Amino acid sequence: MLCGPILRIGALDADSPGHDSALGDRGHSRVARRGAPQAAAAVAAILAAPLVCIWVFRSEILYHSADLASNALSLAAVGALLALLLLRVVLPRMDRRFILLVYAAVAATAGISTMGMVQFLITSLAAPFWFRDGSNRWDEFIPAIPSWVAPRSPEVVRGFFLGRASLYAPEVWQAWVGPVAAWSGFIVLLLVAQYCLAHIFYPRWANQERLSFPIVQLPLTATAPGGQGRSAMLAGALLAAGVQSLNALHYAYPSVPELRVLPTDLGGSFPPPWNAIGNFWLTFYPCAIGVAALVPTNILISCVAFFALSKLEIVGAQAWGLRGTGSTGGFPYPGEQAQGAVLGLVIMVLWSARFWLAGSLRSRKDMGAWIGLGLSACGLVAFGIALGLRPYVCVLFFLLFLLFMVGLGWLRAAVGPLWNPGNDVAWWARAVGGAATPIPEGVGLAYLRWFSFGDFRGHALPTYVDAMRIADAGGISRRTLLVSLAVGSVLSIVASLWVALDVYYRYGAATALTDQWRTYQGRLAFDNLRSLLDGTMPRPEIPHLSAASFGFLLVVALSAANRRLLWWPLHPAGFVMAQTWSLEWFWMPMLIALIVKSLILRAGGLRLYERARPFFVGLILGDYAMCVGLALAGTLFRVPMYKPFPV
Mean pLDDT of 414-438: 83
Q: Residue 434 has what pLDDT?
A: 59
pLDDT at 647 (0 to 100): 60
Identify which has the larger pLDDT, 34 or 98.
98
Identify which has the larger pLDDT, 643 or 470: 470
Per-residue pLDDT at 17 exceeds 80: no
Cross-strand partners of 282: 264
β pairing state of 264-265 and 281-282: antiparallel
Q: How far apart are CA 156 and CA 83, in angstroms?
A: 40
The answer, yes or no, to whether residue 11 has pLDDT greater than 70, is no
- Please state, as a whole number, how many other Cβ atoms lie within 10 Å of the Cβ of residue 33: 9
Q: Which of 198, 103, 84 is nearest to 484 (CA)?
A: 103
Average pLDDT of the residues of the chain: 89
Gap between the Cα atoms of 405 and 172, Å rounded = 36
Distant-in-sequence, close-in-space partners of 39: CB < 8 Å, separation ≥ 6: 480
Q: Who wins on pLDDT, 264 or 432?
A: 264
Q: Find, among 393, 446, 434, 399, the residue nearest to 539 by Cα.
A: 434
DSSP string, 401-418: HHHHHHHHHHHHHHT--S
Q: What backbone torsions phi and psi does residue 409 show, to the nearest 5 degrees?
A: -65, -40
Share of the chain above pLDDT 90, in %: 72
Mean pLDDT of 596-611: 95
- The CA-atom distances, in angstroms, between 325 and each of 19, 277, 328, 535 are 66, 15, 8, 15
Say if residue 327's pLDDT is above 70.
Answer: no
- Residues 141-166 have pLDDT tens digits of 999 999 999 999 999 999 999 999 99
DSSP β-bridge partners for residue 281: 265
Kindly list the domain boundaries of the chain, sorted by start residue. 4-19+27-637
Q: Write down the pLDDT at residue 93.
A: 84
Percent of the chain surpassing pLDDT 70 = 93
What span, in angstroms and rounded, lies between the C-alpha atoms of 97 and 76?
A: 19
Predicted pLDDT at 540? 85
Looking at 111-115, 274-278, 456-460, which range is the least confident one? 274-278
Render pLDDT for 210-268 as a digit per residue (tens, 0 to 9).
999 999 999 999 998 877 788 999 999 999 999 999 999 999 999 999 999 999 999 88
pLDDT in tens, 253-296: 999 999 999 999 998 888 888 888 888 999 999 999 999 999 99
Phi, psi of 330 (to 5 degrees): 85, -170
Tell me, what DSSP letter sits at residue 540?
P
Task: Answer whether residue 390 shows pLDDT above 70.
Answer: yes
Q: Could you report the per-residue pLDDT of 23-81, keeping only the tens digit for each?
A: 333 333 343 445 567 788 899 999 999 999 999 999 999 988 888 888 899 999 999 99
